[in-house]
Amino acid sequence: MSTIAEWLEENVTTDKRALDWYREPECEPRIVRAYRQLLSGYEIDTSTILKTTVEVQGEHAGVVRVHDINYYSICAHHFLPFYGKVAISYVPGSRILGLGKFPRLVQAFSRRFQIQEHLVKDIAEEIMSSGGARAARVVSTGRHMCMCSRGPSDQTCVTDTSYVTGDKELFTRFGLDT
């Protein structure tokens, strides 16, 4: 196995000024710690996150919405960060879920290699499967460093993605268009 400096020299640049940063003794362990934290979502069993706050008596006739949940992730295509906010709406099944668990769920999925389209799907599907929801909608906005710093090099681009699953008619019935 090669060092980060050797990998960079072989694949990215031979410029000594760049490579000297990565030959420092503490450099490689610092990078490893950073990426372990950034990708710590793989260590979390997401099916254990959502907990019941209260059992629903009869049918819950409404939508629960938690929004402005911050996330940071690493793009699976470019190995560059992207970040933004997530909004979650769900129609409870037999139980209402703990609101504080939604940011934890977002963090668990976003701290993995991701693409934004899969992030919203993963979150929504988990709310349905382990949360027992009747419907779930997850919307995210994101800024992608792969678009800001390379490719189009446009720092103003914002990407919106959404995913809806379950009984989608419930959202319309309760006044939230999908």
Please tell me the predicted confidence (pLDDT) of residue 68.
Answer: 98
Q: What is the pLDDT of residue 2?
A: 86
Which residue ranges of the chain lie beneath pLDDT 70? 1, 178
Question: Whats the size of the chain, residue-wise?
Answer: 178
Comparing CA positions, the residue from 171, 159, 176, 11 lying closest to residue 86 is 159
- CB-based contacts of 38: which residues, under 8 Å, 6+ apart? 72, 74, 81, 111
The identity of residue 71, as a single letter, is Y
Cβ neighbours around 11 below 10 Å, total = 8
Residue 1's pLDDT is: 67
CA–CA separation, 130 vs 151, rounded Å? 39
The pLDDT value recorded for residue 109 is 98
CB 127 within 8 A of CB 94: no
- Residue 155 is predicted with a pLDDT of 82
> Amino acid identity of 136?
A
CA distance 168 to 91: 10
Cα dihedral 92/40/118/66 (nearest 10): 30
Closest by alpha carbon to 72, among 37, 43, 99? 37
Q: What is the dihedral of CA 124, 126, 129, 132, to 10 degrees?
A: -70
**Structure confidence at residue 127 (pLDDT):** 98
Beta bridge partners of 82: 73, 144
Write down the pLDDT at residue 143: 95
